[in-house]
Structure 1
Amino acid sequence: MRAGGSARWLAGYGALLVVAVTWPFLVPGGAFALRDMMVFDAMALTRASLGWGDLPARNVPQDALLGILPHPVLFLRFAVVGAAACAARAGYLLGRGTFGRAAAMTVAVWNPFVVERLLQGQWSLAVAAWLLPLVALGRGPAATLAHWLASLTPTGALAAACAARGRAGLAVSALTCLPWVVAGVFAGAGGTASAASAGVFAPRAEALAGTLGALAGLGGIWNGEAVPPSRSAGFALAGVALLALLALAWRDVPRRWLALAAAGFALALASWAGLTGPLVAHVPGAGLLRDGQKWLILAVPAYVAAAGALDGRRALAACAFALLQVPDAPVALAALTPVPAAAVEIPAVDDRGRDVVFESRPALTRVAGRVAVDPAPKAMNVVESGALAVDGVVVDPPSARWSAAQVALDGPDSLGRLRGLGIGLAVRADGSVVDAGAPARGLPPVGVALFALWCAVPLLACVQGHTLKINRPHLHRYAD
């Protein structure tokens, strides 16, 4: 196959892969709601979105960015589809020959990790997994922008920091991690993770493949309901075969990427063995480790590079095994199609920036028949519970302020006690609103400043691009 024809064929194949796994984000609709995902156009910038609320900064700066954008839903669409396209591009760059490139593109775009995380509603983690090979490839504006977008959540930020290269990568790592690191240290929001929750979030075995086999193919998410049906029919075994093929090319994978993959598997296996429970319970910030399977994200660059090093029949077999891991991915991902904006019910409370506490409001709700997180904390300053119950067992207790507010609602001098907690409004279970009188507290200056620095990272990419443009003739002269 000629070079021009090969490039066109691979471009078409890459586009097909991207559309197959992101098509729900191309469907018209006003909001996205599924499990952990709740994105709608009425989101607001709050103290919690900056990491200075009642709970640890788990969605920082993702929610802050969505809170300042005029069209968060449109941004979500571009971010998901664009990240998948970047994964295809990275696979193309890492591949050798037509079939090697096709294999690398397939492994990068179509894998159980991104499919399961999307179905869990953790779209920004899937975005980070798609962008990580581009971050690992090296310096330059593209790597910087990929690093920035991958850092929408702390897990993505840490993964990108591990994969980044050079001084620019170090600078971007610092700027993208500071918002949630500083908030975690100084915001005063106590962690709610427990040793029991580490066990709940441990990797899960899948049919015929077991836990080790599921992890081998980058699957094994803790929530079985966020898994395509094919994984329960034994298709996870294709991931074991895929890893066996990729292992043949391990010498062609950069050692640093192999070390990253080893670290990711070590964390996942430690979670499976129950070793992370004490860390999660007693070490500040170690709650990031309790969902051990998500750290398989660190193995994605090595997998893609190994697939790209294959050629001929081995590369074609790798393509087949990668697709067979989740052959029903496009069908399963239909659960992500957007819902009408009117389906997202935001409480009609005239809060004017004040803290609002809801009496016994559940953290999960139903939107168009789907289970999703409550939209209220995304639109106003809500005193959040943070309590977590799995299969009827409470594994994380509620936050101290929420518990105190619930007691105050039914106790003597309720208004004074709520006001002492900094709460301006209380909404009872019957819908009545109690004005406790506490004024709006405003946004934390430190949180705003760090978020502004995070938003400025793309400017660094512009500077890099300008520098490369100036130096390119000089570099070419030496190359000649």
Structure 2
Amino acid sequence: MLGSCGAEETGALLSEYMRRIAPAIWPVLLTAVITGPLLAPGFVVSYDMVFVPDLSVRLDLFGVSAAMPRAVPSDVVVAVLDELGGGQLLNKAVLVAIPLLAGLGMTVLWRELRLGGWPAGAAATTLYVWNPFVAERLRLGAWALLLGYAALPWLVRGAIRLREGRGWAGFVLASALCALTASGGVVGLLVSGVVLRWRPGAYSRWPLGVALLLNAPWLVAGITHSGLATDGASVSAFAARDEGYGGTLPTLLTLGGVWNADVVPAGRGEPLTVVLVFAMLLMSLAGVWLWWRRDHFAGALVVPAIVALLIALAGVVVPGLFAQVVQHVPGAGLFRDGQRYLAPLVLLEAIGFGVATAWLQDHVRPKVVVGLTTALLPVAALPALAGGAGLHVSHYPDDWRQAKQAVAGRFIPWPFEAYRAPSWNGYRPVLDPMPRYFGAQPSIVPDELIVGGRRLGGEDPQAADIASALRSGTDPAPVLLRNGVGWIVVDRAAGGPAPDTLIRGLTKRFEGPTVAVYQVAGTPIPQQPPVWRTVSVLLAWGVAVLTLLLALVSVGRRCYSSVHLIGRGRFSWDR
């Protein structure tokens, strides 16, 4: 009898554990399907996703160089973290973290909102993890933006709990992930600001100030930047586009519309896909309406979603006016690629999709079939995301390691272009990895972009000075030396004239099958940023890091407490 009771108690305890752990299994499965093939040895590099074996920590990465601080603070984070296990391991960890954090975040947010059972939550999780926005931005290599996207459900949950006085560390950590990029930081501030102020509580006044402190590195670096104005033509080049859905607005509402047609997933716009996608859109809109009827807190996510949609449409609806704004208002260039701000709309539609699934389960039988069908609809509508949305594993050439030892100062990559399609990456486009790979010393990075056959002006005056000198037909060596450049690293497979045919007095210091290193004759003039700017930027970094450390200490104490609760069988996802 006692043995029977013990078995029943054990079974009940095991069942309770499974009920609480089961919601995490679905995001893990989705993550495995998306990233599994990308975990093979090698680097996954595509467009802006450029990881190298070891990115050196340099002052210019903090945002004090003449270049626009577009990779602040993400480059510094990479440079620090790749010391733990190397750039390749960090590359894989980031790829896994994006869908896994997004899925788990939607899981915990769904529990917090109490909008339905686990099957409906699984449907919401699938749509948030598996959608065109994720597929297109993943292919574009916007890994830091996608980590902020993955943090968005955690941010909303943290803001809700913060208003109720249930802890602040989760909100701070999610805000920090959003702040890995300027655009992600803007989205995080927008969403958290609306959520916190929707129903003001005792904790609603100071969190936004803390979030601003976490965004201080890119904010201060951007404000103190004295580069060139953003090219107004970039508005039309980066405007959202129709992917076969009857216009730009329907395309954005179905969570696509990226400016680069080459990264649009295969099958997007085909008849069956269009039917499935619009069915999910109708479910999402109906779900949002049902949620609004139940709780007007839905408006706290509707408002950011509408703002995000308007930003995405600006380059299409008022391109001329927006081009003037971007060209003449400092910092407005941040919004030229408006589709990248679509995360709040994705979050709202995912929750609405889950609410609609819960309603269907209440009115259609069998419930299990309804839940499973809706949970798989996003996958059926976008099969191209399986295996990484067209990403592939590559290997840097062996001679790059030797060439790196030969570079002993500031350099420029050759050809002096921002992107290339190297053979070692299967001729797939990627932001030139040389400035990061050979970057024990800072380099001057070309920032002119060619979009749709048109060259857009860059924002770094030093890069513009060098580019102009290289096209002038005269010896550019004096201009290189004036900008502190004493070395040239040549991608031999990229084609074009060799640098010694255009620049006099070059000395070849290394030559391998794919790369060559030249030294420029003469003494480079050291380029130092203004002291006031360096102090301002580093002070902003110090404040942000201190804020983050306080949150990490709080989370560590909470995790320690949770371990004891797990041991006593009292752990809950609701924590």
Contact 1:52 1:189 in 2 (8 A): no
The question of 1:429 aligning with 2:499 is answered yes
Instruction: Give the AA of the match of 2:434.
Output: A
1:313 aligns with 2:357: no
Return the offset for 1:468: 6.6
1:100 aligns with 2:120: yes
Shift of 1:241: 2.1
1:84 aligns with 2:99: yes
Quick one: which of 341, 350, 365 aligns to 1:304?
A: 350
- The TM-score with structure 1 as length reference comes to 0.86
Q: How many angstroms does 1:229 deviate by?
A: 0.6
**Structure-2 change in CA distance of 1:469 and 1:32 (3 Å):** closer
Mapping of 1:227-306 within 5 angstroms? Answer: 227-234=264-271, 235-250=273-288, 251=292, 252=295, 254-275=298-319, 276-306=322-352
Instruction: Note if contact 2:487-2:518 (Cα within 8 Å) is conserved in structure 1.
Output: no
Q: Residues 125 and 350 of structure 2 are in contact (CA less than 8 Å); yes or no, is this contact kept in structure 1?
A: yes
Cα distance, 1:184 vs structure 2: 1.6
Give the AA of the match of 2:265: P
Could you tell me how far 1:212 is from its partner in structure 2?
2.1
Moved more, 66-75 or 130-139: 66-75
Is the aligned partner of 1:19 residue 2:65?
no
Instruction: Summarize the Cα distance change of 1:76–1:454 in structure 2 as closer, same or farther, 3 Å threshold.
Output: farther
Q: 1:94 to 1:42 in 2, by over 3 A?
A: closer
CA apart distance, 1:28: 2.3
Report the Cα offset of residue 457 of structure 1: 4.0
Pick from 385, 406, 417 the counterpart of residue 362 of structure 1.
417
The 1:402–1:319 alpha-carbon spacing in structure 2 relative to 1, beyond 3 Å, is: same
Task: Please say if 1:450 is aligned against 2:540.
Answer: yes
Between the aligned partners of 2:304 and 2:488, the Cα distance in structure 1 is 48
The separation in 2 between residues aligned to 1:421 and 1:265, in whole angstroms, is 42
- Is the 1:61–1:152 Cα contact (8 Å) retained in structure 2? yes
Equivalent-residue separation in structure 2 for 1:97 and 1:273 (angstroms): 40
Establish whether residue 217 from structure 1 lines up as the match of residue 275 from structure 2. no
CA distance change for structure 1 residues 80 and 407 in 2, over 3 Å: closer, same or farther?
Answer: closer
Given that residues 486 and 519 in structure 2 are in contact (C-alpha distance below 8 angstroms), is that contact kept between their aligned partners in structure 1? Answer: no
State the alpha-carbon separation in 2 of the partners of residues 81 and 167 from structure 1: 35
- Note closer, same or farther for the CA distance 1:230–1:468 as it changes in structure 2 (3 Å cut): same
- 2:360 maps to a residue whose letter is R
Query: Does structure 2 retain, via aligned residues, the 8 Å contact 1:426–1:433?
Result: yes
Counterpart check, 1:150 vs 2:240: no
CA distance in 1, matches of 2:460, 2:24: 50
Q: Is the 8 A contact 2:418 2:446 kept in 1?
A: yes
Shift in CA distance, 82/143, structure 1 to aligned 2, threshold 3 Å = farther
Q: Secondary structure at the match of 1:55?
A: coil
Q: Look up the equivalent residue of 1:238 and give its one-letter code.
A: L
Aligned residues: 467
Measure, in 2, the Cα distance between the counterparts of 1:143 and 1:76: 25
Deviation of 1:17 (Å): 1.2
What code does the residue aligned with 1:223 have?
A: N
- 1:476 counterpart residue number: none
Structure 1 counterpart of 2:447, which letter?
G
Q: Hey, what's the Cα distance between the residues in 2 that align with 1:8 and 1:470?
A: 19
Question: Does structure 1 retain, via aligned residues, the 8 Å contact 2:23–2:122?
Answer: yes
Paired with 2:414 and 2:359, the residues of 1 have a C-alpha distance of 63
Aligned to 2:41: 28
Change (3 A) 1:372 1:345: farther
Q: Is the 8 A contact 2:144 2:181 kept in 1?
A: yes
Partner of 2:432: 374
* Contact persistence 2:232–2:324 (CA under 8 A): yes
Return the alpha-carbon distance in structure 2 between the equivalents of residues 215 and 342 of structure 1: 39
Once the two structures are superposed, residues 123-153 of structure 1 have per-residue CA deviations (whole angstroms, 9 ceiling, x without a partner) of: 1112221211111112433332222122211
Q: Quote the residue 2:494 is aligned against.
A: none
- 8 Å CA contact 2:265, 2:385 repeated in 1: yes
What whole-Å deviation, never above 9, does each CA across 1:184-208 have from its counterpart, x for those lacking one?
22232334x3221111111111124
* 2:387 maps to 1:326: no
When residues 413 and 201 of structure 1 are mapped into structure 2, their CA distance, relative to the original with a 3 A threshold, is closer
Q: How many Å separate the matches in 1 of 2:411 and 2:308?
A: 40
Identity %: 26
Cα 1:407/1:122, change in 2 over 3 Å: closer
Q: How far has the Cα of 1:34 moved from its partner?
A: 0.9
Structure 1 residues 111 and 6, CA gap change in structure 2 (3 angstroms): farther
More deviation, 397-406/128-137: 397-406
Instruction: State the 1:58 CA deviation.
Output: 0.9
Structure-2-length-normalised TM-score: 0.73
Query: Once the 2 structures are TM-superposed, how far is the Cα of residue 16 of structure 1 from its aligned partner?
Result: 1.1
Aligned-pair distance for 1:258? 0.9
Give the drift of 1:440: 5.2
State the Cα distance separating 1:368 from its structure 2 match.
2.2
Partner of 2:220: 182
**1:195 matched residue in structure 2:** 232
8 Å Cα contact 1:105/1:304 also seen in 2:
yes
- Indicate if the aligned counterparts of 1:39 and 1:73 stay in contact, CA closer than 8 A: yes
Partner of 1:120: 140
Name whichever of 33-42 and 377-386 sits farther off.
377-386
CA displacement at 1:236 relative to structure 2: 4.3
Structure 2 Cα separation of the partners of residues 185 and 211 of structure 1: 32
Among residues 450, 454, 459, which one is paired with 2:549 in the alignment?
Answer: 459
Separation in 1 of the partners of 2:385 and 2:499?
40
Larger Rg: 2
Whether the aligned pair in 2 keeps the contact of 1:359 and 1:406 (CA below 8 Å) is no
* CA distance, structure 1, for counterparts of residue 33 and residue 19 of structure 2: 21
Distance 1:218 1:197 in 2: 22
Q: Distance in 2 between matches of 1:131 and 1:32?
A: 22
Query: Which residue of the partner structure matches residue 482 of structure 2?
Result: 420
Say if 1:86 and 1:399 are closer, same or farther in 2 by CA, change over 3 A: closer
